[in-house]
Amino acid sequence: MNRTKDSSTSLRIAIQKSGRLTDKTIDLLHGIGVEFDNYKRNLMVKTRNFDVELLLLRDDDIPEYVQDGICDLGFVGANEVFEKDADVTVLRGLNYGNCRLSIAAPKDGTLQDASDFEGKTIATSYPYLTNKFFQDQGININIVEISGAVEITPQLEVADAISDLVSTGGTLRANGLQELFTILESETKLIQTNKELSPGKQQLVEKFLVRIDGYQQAKKSRYIMMNAPLEKVDSISKIIPSMKSPTIVSLAESDMVAIQTVIPINKFWEVMEELKEAGASDIVMLPIESMIL
Ligand code: PRT
Ligand code: ZN
């Protein structure tokens, strides 16, 4: 399925058609200003405002489509990228679809350490990564490749243990399994083909990256506004590390000002009480759509 020459002018982006990554990927694309609709009914969607088309695929197929240059970019879990050992460049980690590929075995059973696995059978949809994990430690295992409901296989005596994706751990617990080792920490990645892109397409990729970085940064930040007596501005500024040069706006009351700045979201609750104690009032926190630094 090689596309030998980068002849088309449209940047083609692969996304998961229907699954855990779909909504967040669509939100991200909308969030960076890519406009399109009807993605639920079509396999290929043209965007309205960019020379970009979206190809809606099963997530398993995305690494190969990007590797072969059928698609220029793809949004897909690291688990799929590394399982397929795809020859692509990971451009960004996107911090959604987070999970881990782990080895799990029946709770309180004999399988505890990696060395206990010599000669054992592991059921998984991730044969490459699982084999590699044990091979790297000089341990020989047998793999039963299964595409779904992997967690039931120890009860059915199809396998001694499993290697599967875990997020909350609820599925493992419900099946009497205990998580033993993590093979891979995964999140959604933006990947690019290693086939050469036309200058126009490469420029568009760079433009997207700036927007994605702005979108990601905005997700982690909040805009805060507060009122304070003028003489308290210095002490308030010291509470928020990012507030090196906050916007200060005069208020009708001559000794009062409004202070506005951007802070990391995880700092807000920490500093709110301190801000109040330092004399700030009417503190408002707002989400930010995007920010270009
Ligand atoms: O149809 P298609 O092939 O596109 O979709 P799919 O059914 O293969 O994949 P999908 O939509 O289930 O998952 C897509 C991607 O989401 C995965 O490749 C991961 O990158 C990511 N992801 C994040 C997860 C999970 N979290 C997850 N928990 N994928 C699967 N799971 C499953 C896991 O396999 C297990 O069955 O959820 C169960 C465990 O969840 P907890 O919360 O009980 O631990
Ligand atoms: Zn899949």
Domains of the chain (ranges; CATH) run 11-96+187-218 (3.40.190.10), 99-185 (3.40.190.10), 221-287 (3.30.70.120)
Closest ligand to 189 CA? 1
Closest-CA residue, ligand 1 atom 32, reads: 165
Query: Cα separation of 195 and 87, whole Å?
Result: 10
pLDDT higher than 90, residue 39: no
Give the residues across from 164 on adjacent strands: 102
C-alpha radius of gyration, the chain, whole number: 25
For 11, the token pair is 């940047």
pLDDT > 70 fraction of the chain, expressed in percent and rounded: 96
Q: Which ligand is nearest to the CA of 179?
A: 1
Greatest Cα pair distance in the chain: 79
**CB 97, CB 187: distance < 8 Å:** yes
Q: Ligand 1 centroid to 20 CA: how many Å? A: 6
Pocket lining: 20 vs ligand 1, CB cutoff 6 Å: yes
Residues 6+ apart with CB under 8 A from 197: 6, 72, 205
Please tell me the predicted confidence (pLDDT) of residue 252.
87
Q: What is the pLDDT of residue 75?
A: 98
For 8, phi and psi rounded to 5 degrees?
A: -70, 155
Residue entry with tokens 């093979």: 183
CA distance 22 to 39: 10
Name which residue leads in pLDDT, 253 or 221.
Answer: 221
Which tens digits make up the pLDDT trace of 74-100? 999 999 999 999 999 999 999 999 999
Residue 60 Cβ contacting ligand 1 at under 6 Å = yes
Residue 110's pLDDT band, with cuts at 50, 70 and 90, is: very high
Q: What are the backbone angles phi and psi of residue 16, rounded to the nearest 5°?
A: -70, 135
Question: Within its chain, how far is the Cα of 251 from the centroid?
Answer: 42
Q: Of 45, 277, 62, 35, give the one whose Cα is nearest residue 190.
A: 62
Distance CA 244, CA 208 (A): 29
Residue in the structure block whose two tokens are 């967690």: 151
Pick from 99, 147, 175, 179 the residue to mutate for probing ligand 1's pocket: most ligand atoms within 8 Å of its CB: 99
> Smallest Cα–Cα separation from 53: which of 9, 96, 11, 89?
11
Q: How far apart are the C-alpha atoms of 139 and 136, rounded to whole Å?
A: 8
User: What's the per-residue H, E or C state across 214-277?
Assistant: HHHHHHCEEEEEEEEEHHHHHHHHHHCCCCCCCEEEECCCCCEEEEEEEEEHHHHHHHHHHHHH
pLDDT above 90 coverage of the chain, percent: 76
Written as one letter, the residue type at 138 is G
Task: Measure the CA–CA gap between 32 and 204, rounded to whole angstroms.
Answer: 13
**Number of CB atoms found within 10 A of residue 289's CB:** 10
pTM of the full predicted structure?
0.90
**C-beta 186 within 6 A of ligand 1:** yes
Residue 109's identity, in one-letter code, is G
Average confidence (pLDDT) over 240-261: 83
DSSP symbol at 43: S
Instruction: Give CA angle at 280 (220, 278), nearest 5°.
Output: 100
